[in-house]
Structure 1
Amino acid sequence: MRLSRADYKEISRWTEHLRPTRQCMRMLKDRFPKYLRESKAHPTAPVVLELAYQVDLSPALMARIILDRFLQSLDGEMPSKTVISSMIKDPSLIPDPILANNIYQCTINDCCYGPLVDCIKHAIGHEHEVLLRDKLKERNLSFLDENQLRTMGYDKTPDIILEVPIAVEGHIVHWIESKASFGDDHSHRTYLNEQFWSYWNRFGPGLVIYWYGFIGELDCQRDRGILLKDCFPTDIVTLCHATQQDRLPDRQNEDKERDKD
């Protein structure tokens, strides 16, 4: 599915009106003491989750902020991101059982952020990488996947590198990157700067598949070597096909010569 930027912005504007303007950080500072008071009065109540709803903040993000403040109050030092992340993933590591229960309630009730959502995104991404490999095998295309490339010493690679390049819609493709997400302006710009151009520098022109669609105007780098698609291409031209097509006129000329004789 390809969306125009105008359509995407219209959808975004409509979505923004579903919730009020965020003033979450200022409100959070004012309301933070409420957690300590309410948690003592109602130890089993989802206080942090309710706070997140009241200030219109992601429950997982609210949990991370509360946990960060809690750990600072224990040690007087800034906790590391690794420690906080491990406790968010496994609340049983939190020394305060009431807070641990609140953190757990936040993570399981957040549909956009947090460890559970990360697991879902990882699973969906892996599923589409498997789909891509299956499609390549169906076409008998020889390739190396990301795991194979890492064992060969590559530190930053696309999902697939084709051992023999192909052509898609008249454009040469040396590598393929699978993205199980929608390609909007922000994410695509980030991917270009952090991934796609480095792949282009190392391996040449390539193909990016946004399985859940993208803004059509973003497919503007074809001449520079970055092709966008929203599905696995069906009009693939291989080296074998190109060689056969080159030989076809010669065979036709040979047939004409035989007819003359």
Structure 2
Amino acid sequence: MILTKAQYDEIAQCLVSVPPTRQSLRKLKQRFPSQSQATLLSIFSQEYQKHIKRTHAKHHTSEAIESYYQRYLNGVGKNGAAPVLLELANEVDYAPSLMARIILERFLQEHKETPPSKSVINSMLRDPSQIPDGVLANQVYQCIVNDCCYGPLVDCIKHAIGYEHEVLLRDLLLEKNLSFLDEDQLRAKGYDKTPDFILQVPVGLDRV
């Protein structure tokens, strides 16, 4: 189904008032049943990333970080099993995975003698069981699995989809008996930029 500009704008406008969670995506599908899940997710992700880029700075001021951290501590102090971090992210309209990163970094700064490295933070976000606090680990996990735009789970899905399409493209090139070089071959030849495939012989395409 062809998506018109008016339909895109209607979907984008609907996204203004919903958080970037999988539950919101399901509601969006109910609102626009004629659109595919992939189409809605693509629009959802694109529009939300625009929003995050516009508002990123305000969430990373020292005042904002301290406010979020204290609210997190107060929340889990009352009920550690409640989705405190996820609800906080939704309330301030920030991606759950990015909120989890803010709180995790602040927690580690308080409990570690040296500032945590980016690689350590990324590793803990990919595997929250590494976080040395069970309550925070659970809170981070909830944010990761409920975020459909950011975070290690989304990155993994994107990578898998990209690889799937790369395999499909390779099969198509082989089926058409076209000569090509893949990424590994290009890298071995010293190319600094390596697209998935480069045709060794140009081909002409008939316009339909």
- Normalised TM-score (structure 1): 0.56
27-36 vs 138-147, which moves further = 27-36
Work out the CA distance in 1 between the residues paired with 2:9 and 2:2: 15
Which of 8, 15, 30 in structure 1 is aligned with 2:67?
Answer: 30
Structure 1 position 40, deviation (Å): 2.4
State yes or no: 1:81 paired with 2:80.
no
**Structure with larger Rg:** 1
Matches within 5 A, 1:54-203: 54-75=91-112, 77-169=114-206
**If each structure's strand is expressed as a fraction of its own residues, which one has the higher value?**
1
Structure 2 unaligned regions, length at least 5: 20-50
Going by fraction, where is helix more abundant, 1 or 2? 2
Q: CA RMSD in A?
A: 2.9
Report the Cα offset of residue 100 of structure 1.
Answer: 0.8
The corresponding residue for 2:82 is 45
Number of positions where the alignment pairs a residue of Structure 1 with one of Structure 2: 170
- Answering whether residue 54 of structure 2 is matched by residue 17 of structure 1, we say no
Deviation (angstroms), 1:18: 3.1
Distance 1:29 1:56 in 2: 17
Which residue identity is paired with 2:109?
Answer: Q
Conserved? CA contact 1:146–1:160, under 8 Å: yes
Distance 1:7 1:68 in 2: 42
Instruction: Report the CA distance shift for 1:123/1:10 in structure 2 as closer, same or farther (over 3 A).
Output: same
Structure 1 position 28, deviation (Å): 5.9
Higher relative contact order (CA 8 A, sep 6+): 2
TM-score (norm: length of structure 2): 0.69
Determine what percentage of the aligned residue pairs are the same residue. Answer: 55
Secondary structure in structure 1 of the residue aligned to 2:200: strand
Q: Structure 1: which 5+ runs fail to align? A: 171-234, 236-261
SS at match of 1:161: strand
Distance 2:106 2:116 in 1: 9
